[in-house]
Amino acid sequence: GENVEQHPSTLSVQEGDSAVIKCTYSDSASNYFPWYKQELGKRPQLIIDIRSNVGEKKDQRIAVTLNKTAKHFSLHITETQPEDSAVYFCAASGTGTASKLTFGTGTRLQVTL
């Protein structure tokens, strides 16, 4: 089955700096890669996703890049703000698994003033 690894496990940045979180996956058939943000005690919320037919996607301060050859994808947050502090999870799925998501272990992002 799919295996997703995520790094780093914790990340501390100063407000206004950029943050980058990286994930690798094992199943070359995976073709959908969402990122979820989870605040303490809350539901995971989708913040951005990318499909295998594109290499990069951007939404305001958030961007995701995908390298299918290397089987890795990354989340980039620019101009970080204190409200970006949360746990971020990457995930991967393929059409053959009915969009069942396999999650990484999460990155705790702390944005300090």
Closer by beta carbon to other proteins, 63 or else 101 = 101
Q: Is 61 in the site for other proteins (CB under 8 A)?
A: no
Residue 34, burial from CB neighbour count under 10 angstroms (0-12, 13-18, 19+): buried
Query: DSSP string covering 50-69, please?
Result: EETT-SEEEETTEEEEEETT
Residue 95 · residue 31 · CB < 8 Å: yes
Closest approach, Cβ 20 to other proteins, in A, equals 18
Query: Which region, judged by CB under 8 A, interacts with other proteins, from 13-21, 60-68, 78-86, 96-104?
Result: 96-104
Phi, then psi, of 83 in degrees rounded to 5: -70, -5
Q: Is 23 in the site for other proteins (CB under 8 A)?
A: no
Query: Which region, judged by CB under 8 A, interacts with other proteins, from 11-19, 59-67, 72-80, 100-108?
Result: 100-108
Q: Is 101 in the site for other proteins (CB under 8 A)?
A: yes
Residue 92 · residue 27 · CB < 8 Å: yes
Q: Which residues bind other proteins (CB under 8 A)?
A: 4, 6, 32, 34, 36, 42-46, 49, 89, 91, 97-106
